[in-house]
Amino acid sequence: MRVLIVEDEPALVRQLAKALGEAGYATDTASDGERADQLARTESYDAILLDLGVPRIDGLTLLSDWRESELSTPILVVTARGSWHEKVRGIDGGADDYLAKPFRMEELLARLRALIRRASGHVRPVLRCGAVTLDPRSLRVTVDDRPVRLTGHEGRVLSYLMHHRDRVVSSGELVEHIYAQDTERDSNTVEVFIGRLRRKLGASFIETVRGVGYRIAS
């Protein structure tokens, strides 16, 4: 899963990128509204963390413009503006949730997981597909209640497929959602990760739809 962090405080950007990386997300960062707008319109994200006070293009304008152009990515507004009218303007502008600074990283991660889960149509916090379960809170994966160890990229591939279990996901889409923007991307590695997941989770768990992509066999 991949997240765009729009924040102009360097120390906070580092903290967010570190925490999200440890939680299993690929992250890109933008320190101003112009860069954020460019990335949001050209890259694929599962969620956006947006500070309303970024320079060049402010967060409320970005929200309005993105929703006007039908960008449907879940957006969590993170800002020092804590008054009720700023919260209302953020939600009315198209934000899916609001978190005022200062905040606990655990709460931000919980809200982020909830946004992504709801956007993909899941109600329960733990994802289950047949005998396989994935807990996004702990990154714990089990098969028939037996724990399975996955690498970071294997976990991102599995998480994306399980969040979108009702449809076929192409290799290109997986590449867009498991790598950050400044990472060298190779669609051939997706086949490697899929092969490893099949060995760990069961050969028939991930189905190949020839010429189209992959889906969870349910």
Which residues, at least 6 apart from 86, have a Cβ–Cβ distance to it below 8 Å? 52, 79
142's enclosing H/E stretch is: strand 140-143
Can you give the pLDDT at residue 155? 95
- Taking the C-alpha atoms of residue 86 and residue 59, their distance in angstroms, rounded to an integer, is 11
Q: Are 212 and 170 in contact (CB under 8 A)?
A: yes
Burial class (CB in 10 A: 0-12, 13-18, 19+), 209: exposed
Confirm or reject CATH 1.10.10.10 for domain 127-216, answering yes or no.
Answer: yes
Residue spans in the chain of domains classed CATH 3.40.50.2300 = 2-119
SS3 call for 119:
helix
Can you give the pLDDT at residue 83? 66
Can you give the pLDDT at residue 84? 67
pLDDT along the chain (218 residues), means of 10: 97 97 97 98 97 93 95 92 72 90 95 94 90 94 96 95 93 93 81 96 94 88
Task: Please report, for residues 43, 95, 119, the alpha-carbon distance to residue 56 in angstroms, rounded to integers and kept in the order given.
Answer: 20, 20, 29
Hey, what CATH topology would domain 2-119 get?
A: Rossmann fold (3.40.50)
Closest CA to 194 of 180, 204, 185, 184: 204
